[in-house]
């Protein structure tokens, strides 16, 4: 097994060690906030705290969680650890106070919390707040987990991609060259060049020391990813209850094979022997995020059926170690699951389900396979921790960012009780635009959920402009999400109605509804957008039909480009497209996850079949001759899923057509806009652009 070299900071262990001197940087804390007229603005949005990870203490009495606050002048955020009792009887207490961000809180015992800071694995006594460094991972630390008995630790670190010798020799004496030589696919992924790959390493945790000098590389001497890029983290591996085995997620492919396949598997590694067994062999789609039952006799995970379909239904798969059988607990359930957890007696499994416009917790009875909805509300639950009868959920809505809410295992269709109050005081000063669900008829006689968000200070005697929001994905639900890019309350605060349809392709409304988008980008999903726009223009007299714009990112931006070429009746008066597909032939060869092109478009454009012919015929660049509406294009350089040339081509086409157009380009952003000042520019530009044409 590969070993990873660690430098242990022995002196810092003696001295309470984990704090680093950062004299050049000030500590970012909760900012002072002034709310003017109760209006929610982009500036106010960036003054809110952002809930991160959280961990329930072993006795269930406390929750440790991270909160990030941002400083616009420093153009960065800083996460600190807070502690709150689960009985809700006292306020949160701040545990750390440094200019570095803390992450990955994990309880070692009832009084000791482990966490990561930079490349250090640290501990803190929650009573005295005394800190120690347990180990320093020079190659980088992304996260870790501790075994049930507290004697072992699994951590994520990166290994460098090694160039072949015949290529490496070309670099001799060229220590300042920036050139990259590649001879395979998947040399870049989402927002990074693939210069390294993550592995999980097993080390002992004894006497306040992580002995990572002797850490073993669980994945072995190969370049496979564990966890998988770009989304995977510590949820992709787990210790067995007895600490003798490790279940992990891995797609054991590289290069071209990796770029064409989503076939990952669940492996179980036996620590004593080094033996590895593939439990999901024969299942051809994504298998990920394994969770052992408390008695260790079963393993549950999220499983997709089809290779190459990244948005396939996530099934609840359970492996029985005694019989060697796999059981799909969602076989008769038309919705996908995530964040699986076992009840203490292993009689039930709980999971988050995308369900008809919200994310809710459902319970699955192990013996009878009966399914019960636990939570219900106008919210999204983005994860939870189960302890005995108590459920602690990370919950958001279109009107508030993440907070921790409490539910119980016995609940059915319940709304929870809020425990944390990171932003409660600030948001109490804001008059949010109300949110309504509307089920409207589609062009083919079905029903579609559309969220309608009202403008700030809504007055039923007045008329307002409106924005059609086009969701990305393309298989992504318009749920009760909170975002610092597409924030519906910022749009409301700017004086707009927002029309947000769950058009064809959105999960959470059954498999058929979700699958009706693949190979038909210009079909029912586009009719759904037009239907939703016309429905509210005709049935909501407070929406001015002459002042409607449309916006979206990724597939949503493709939607904008497509709608721009099909806007003969001037339904829309202005467009904004962020990081979208403009030329499908260009996109086919510029992207990096080729399974996406193969599944959703039918394959590369040179494969002549009915699906590809229909798909590529709906490329927006073919309809530029019909463009007749002002358009703002936004794109970022480090978006490798949809590269910047797509946005430049769309903007150039608009200018050559003689249209009023604007191009906002970020040389240092990705598929998202993450830096605070860039985000603020993004929002100011967004509001300015639509105000110019719709007000």
Active-site positions read 554, 639, 671
> How far, in Å, CA of 362 to CA of 349, rounded?
8
DSSP-based three-state secondary structure for 391 = strand
> How far, in Å, CA of 409 to CA of 389, rounded?
5
Nearest residue to 620 via CA among 574, 675, 562, 563: 562
Helix (H) or strand (E) holding 646: helix 644-656
Do residues 665 and 635 touch, judged by C-beta distance below 8 A? yes
Do residues 262 and 229 touch, judged by C-beta distance below 8 A? no
Do residues 112 and 126 touch, judged by C-beta distance below 8 A? yes
Assigned token pair, 598: 């193969």
Assigned token pair, 623: 């309809």
Residues 6+ apart with CB under 8 A from 364: 316, 329, 330, 348, 349, 350, 351, 370, 371
Determine the straight-line distance between the first and last CA of the chain, rounded to whole angstroms: 65
Q: Which residues of 565-585 are buried (b: 16+ CB within 10 A; e: fewer)?
A: bbbeeebbbbbbbbbbbbbbe
Angle between the 524-539 and 555-564 helix axes, to the nearest 10 degrees? 70
Rounded-to-5 percentages of helix, strand, coil across the chain: 20, 35, 45
> How far, in Å, CA of 595 to CA of 602, rounded?
10
Nearest residue to 509 via CA among 486, 543, 479: 479
> How far, in Å, CA of 418 to CA of 428, rounded?
14
Any idea what the Cα angle at residue 253 is, between residues 382 and 330, rounded to 5°?
40
Nearest residue to 694 via CA among 408, 445, 482, 491: 491
| Dihedral, CA of residue 395, residue 400, residue 402 and residue 404, to nearest 10 | -60
- How many beta carbons lie within 10 A of that of residue 26, not counting itself? 12
Do residues 561 and 648 touch, judged by C-beta distance below 8 A? no
Could you tell me where the DSSP H helices lie in 368-485?
A: 424-427
> How far, in Å, CA of 595 to CA of 32, rounded?
47
Do residues 151 and 206 touch, judged by C-beta distance below 8 A? yes
Number of H helices, E strands in the chain: 14, 39
CA separation (Å) from 234 to 59, 241, 290, 546?
A: 22, 16, 11, 50
Residue 644, Ramachandran bin (φ over 0: left; ψ between -120 and 50: alpha; else beta) = alpha
> Dmax of the chain from CA atoms?
75
DSSP-based three-state secondary structure for 450 = strand
Do residues 357 and 502 touch, judged by C-beta distance below 8 A? yes
> How far, in Å, CA of 616 to CA of 605, rounded?
7
CA 93 to chain centre: 28
């Amino acid at each position: 097994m590969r070993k990873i070299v660690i430098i242990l900071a022995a002196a810092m262990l003696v001295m309470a060690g984990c704090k680093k001197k950062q004299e050049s940087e000030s500590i970012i804390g909760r900012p002072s906030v002034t709310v003017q007229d109760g209006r929610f603005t982009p500036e106010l949005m960036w003054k809110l705290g952002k809930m991160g990870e959280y961990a329930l203490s072993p006795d269930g009495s406390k929750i440790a969680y991270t909160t990030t606050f941002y400083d616009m002048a420093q153009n960065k955020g800083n996460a600190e650890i807070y502690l709150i009792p689960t009985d809700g009887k006292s306020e949160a207490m701040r545990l750390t106070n440094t200019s570095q961000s803390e992450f990955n809180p994990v309880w070692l015992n009832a009084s000791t919390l482990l966490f990561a800071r930079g490349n250090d694995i640290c501990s803190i006594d929650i009573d005295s707040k005394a800190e120690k460094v347990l180990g320093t991972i020079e190659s980088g630390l992304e996260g870790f987990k501790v075994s049930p008995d507290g004697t072992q630790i699994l951590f994520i670190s990166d290994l460098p991609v090694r160039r072949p010798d015949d290529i490496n020799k070309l670099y001799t004496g060229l220590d300042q060259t920036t050139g990259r030589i590649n001879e395979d696919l998947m040399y870049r992924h989402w927002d990074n060049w693939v210069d390294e790959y993550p592995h999980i390493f097993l080390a002992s945790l004894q006497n306040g020391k992580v002995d990572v000098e002797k850490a073993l590389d669980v994945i072995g001497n190969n370049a496979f990813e564990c966890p998988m890029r770009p989304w995977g983290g510590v949820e992709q591996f787990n210790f067995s209850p007895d600490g003798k085995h490790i279940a992990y997620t891995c797609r054991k492919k590289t290069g071209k094979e990796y770029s064409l396949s989503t076939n990952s598997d669940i492996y179980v590694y036996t620590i004593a022997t080094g033996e590895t067994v593939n439990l999901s062999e024969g299942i051809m789609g994504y298998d990920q995020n394994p969770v052992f039952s408390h008695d260790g006799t079963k393993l549950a995970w999220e499983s997709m059926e089809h290779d190459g379909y990244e948005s396939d239904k996530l099934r609840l798969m359970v492996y029985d170690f005694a019989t060697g059988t796999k059981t799909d607990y969602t076989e008769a359930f038309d919705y996908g699951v995530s964040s699986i957890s076992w009840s203490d007696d292993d009689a039930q499994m709980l999971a988050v389900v995308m369900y008809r416009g919200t994310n809710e917790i459902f319970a699955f009875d192990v013996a009878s396979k009966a399914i019960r909805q636990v939570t219900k509300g106008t919210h999204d639950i983005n994860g939870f921790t189960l302890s005995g009868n108590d459920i602690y959920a990370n919950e958001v809505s279109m009107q508030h960012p993440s907070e921790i809410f409490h539910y119980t295992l016995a609940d059915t269709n319940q709304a929870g009780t809020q425990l944390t109050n990171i932003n409660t005081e600030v948001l109490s000063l804001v008059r949010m635009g109300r949110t309504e669900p509307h089920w409207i008829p589609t062009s083919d006689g079905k029903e579609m959920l559309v969220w309608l968000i009202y403008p700030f200070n809504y007055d039923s005697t007045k008329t307002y402009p409106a924005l059609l929001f086009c969701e990305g994905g393309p298989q992504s639900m318009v749920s009760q999400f909170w975002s610092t890019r597409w924030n519906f309350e910022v749009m409301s605060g700017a004086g707009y109605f927002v029309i947000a349809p769950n058009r064809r392709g959105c999960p959470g409304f059954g498999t058929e509804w979700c699958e009706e988008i693949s190979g038909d980008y210009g079909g029912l999903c586009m009719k759904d957008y037009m239907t939703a726009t016309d429905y509210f223009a005709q049935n909501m007299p407070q929406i001015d039909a002459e002042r409607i714009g449309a916006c979206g990112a990724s597939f949503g931006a493709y939607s904008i480009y497509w709608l721009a070429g099909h806007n003969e009746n001037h339904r829309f008066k202005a467009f904004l497209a962020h990081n979208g597909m403009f030329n499908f032939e260009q996109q086919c060869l510029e992207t990096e996850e080729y399974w996406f092109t193969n599944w959703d478009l039918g394959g590369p454009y040179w494969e002549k079949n009915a699906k590809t012919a229909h798909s590529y015929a709906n490329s927006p660049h073919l309809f530029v001759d019909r463009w007749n509406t002002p358009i703002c294009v936004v794109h970022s350089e480090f978006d490798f899923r949809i590269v910047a040339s797509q946005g430049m081509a769309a903007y150039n086409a608009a200018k050559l057509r003689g249209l009023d157009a604007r191009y906002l380009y970020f040389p240092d952003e990705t598929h998202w806009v993450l830096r605070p000042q860039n985000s603020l520019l993004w929002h100011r530009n967004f509001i300015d652009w639509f105000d110019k044409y719709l007000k």
